[in-house]
Chain A
Amino acid sequence: MKRLLILSGKGGTGKTTIAGAFVRLLKAQGYADCDVDAPNLHLILKPQSTVKAKPYFGLSKAKIDIDKCVECNLCRQHCRFDAISIDSSGNYLVDPLSCEGCAVCCYVCPAQAIGLEKSVDGKLELYNDGMSVFSTAQLKMGSGTSGMLVSEVKKQLQPFEQDIEIAIIDGSPGIGCPVIASISGVNMVLIVAEPSLSGLNDMKRIIATAQKFFTPIGVVINRHDVNSTISKMIEKYCREQNLSLLGKIPFDRQVIHAVNAGQTIVDIDCPAGNEVSKVFEATIELFNSL
């Protein structure tokens, strides 16, 4: 099984819109939504089969037994995550959203009043209709451990490796942990760039991140005609960095209609969809040549 990951750096450039189109064009046997914080792929690739869901346990969280607590304050002094506070009744409390489950408080407590408890940080879902497998997840709001959940989403595809030629993975914005976790082990990253100053800047940072992992990179410029000056700057940057520019998709009002109707842009006949088909061909050609 080979994996194509779609990233952007900046949010809102069109990752999910393009990922959805690719899944349709490829007739992908396996695909995943690794934007576990804000998964959207299922909204345009509506999975029809029943779902296998399971809870995702992130980091354990500390819990203070106030009956045993002697209020020595050692836990609060040692906690590096500001996760322990005192409520109005004088009880020591752990804030589960700040707690990182390091167990230092458990260790320093002279009364053994603190223990670690498993905590549900989200849920994993797997759809399998016999023709394709779709792995996705939803992180609980406020949670950390998104990187681990991303890894779990990818692992859900592993048992089906033999049946999946190329898996399409929709990534998340940013350059931090969940993005790094999604890059691990993929064969190629397709970066969706937006022609704005912010978009250009953010694209450079995600490219720098992907380059640290020596992953082959391709770039596509979405809505390129919205700012042709910056679009050309992106093209120039790709040439300088020796990155494949796989296409330029025009701004197209019909995209939002397709998305809001829960369809991919290749389910309707539109300029953006037609261009995405060409980008798809170029991407697969590059992908297979790696």
Chain B
Amino acid sequence: MKILIPVDNSSLNGDVSMSFGRTPYFLVYDLETNESKFVLNEAANSQGGAGIKAAQYIVDLGANILITPRLGENAAEIILAAGIKIKKAHALSAENNIQAFVKNELSDLIDIHAGFHGHH
């Protein structure tokens, strides 16, 4: 099972990023093998629709769970269509969030905000 978390830097005890669409990296954590890898988020440089592009990216990466503090409605539509579960991140490190998830301490992310509108 793959957990994806937007992170500010490529380290397990680094901070979870406040932005999903423009996070610099994603942590890809495999629950079965306990392997973690950090991938660059190319959507960060988009002129617009960064959330959409980032969502497509994590779908393509095979994410099963997304742990994030916030999410726009366009990105959420994609992620939910792919059957990925979305959990609300605590304001702590990526590692802490994974541990919290494993202990079932994370709640579902329900306040999805209207798109930031990247055009015109």
Please list the residues of chain A having a beta carbon within 8 angstroms of any beta carbon in chain B.
57-60, 101, 144-148, 151, 155, 158-159, 161, 176-177, 180-181, 183-185, 213
Contacts and interface: CB of A to CB of B under 8 A. Distances in A.
Nearest to A212: B114
A147 B119 contact: yes
Interface string B1-30: 000000000000000001100000000000
B85 interface: no
29 contacts: A58-B47, A59-B47, A59-B48, A101-B47, A144-B119, A145-B48, A147-B117, A147-B118, A147-B120, A148-B47, A148-B48, A148-B117, A148-B118, A148-B119, A151-B117, A151-B118, A155-B19, A158-B19, A161-B18, A176-B120, A177-B117, A177-B119, A177-B120, A181-B117, A183-B114, A184-B72, A184-B116, A184-B117, A185-B113
A151 B115 CA distance: 10
Contact of A145 (B18, B114, B115, B120): B120
Q: Chain B contact residues: over half helix, strand or loop, or mixed?
A: loop
A176 B117 CA distance: 11
A101 B54 CA distance: 20
B73 to A, nearest CB: 9
Interface residues of B, number: 13
Given A59-B47, A155-B19, A158-B18, A145 B119 contact: yes
Contacts of A155: 19
Interface string B66-83: 000000100000000000
Nearest to A101: B47
Nearest to B73: A184
A218 to B, nearest CB: 19
B47 A146 contact: no
Given A60-B47, A158-B18, A158-B19, A151 B116 contact: yes
A147 B116 CA distance: 8
A189 to B, nearest CB: 12
Contacts of B19: 155, 158
- Scoring A155, A184, A213 by chain B CB atoms within 10 A of each residue's CB, the highest score goes to A184
Contacts of A158: 18-19
Contacts of A181: 116-117
A184 B114 contact: yes
A21 B32 CA distance: 56
A159 B47 CA distance: 21
A184 B115 contact: yes
Contacts of A184: 72, 113-117
B47 A180 contact: no
Contacts of A59: 47-48, 119
Contacts of A177: 117, 119-120
A116 to B, nearest CB: 10
Given A59-B47, A145-B47, A151-B118, 17 more contacts: A57-B47, A101-B47, A144-B119, A145-B48, A146-B120, A147-B120, A148-B119, A158-B18, A158-B19, A161-B18, A177-B117, A181-B116, A181-B117, A184-B72, A184-B116, A184-B117, A185-B114
B47 A144 contact: no
Contacts of B18: 158-159, 161
A144 B113 contact: no
Q: Enumerate the 9 nearest inter-chain pairs by beta-carbon distance, A residue then B residue, closest first.
A: A151-B116, A185-B113, A181-B117, A147-B117, A177-B120, A184-B114, A144-B120, A148-B118, A213-B114
Nearest to A182: B117
B74 to A, nearest CB: 11
A10 B72 CA distance: 28
Interface in B67-120: 72, 113-120
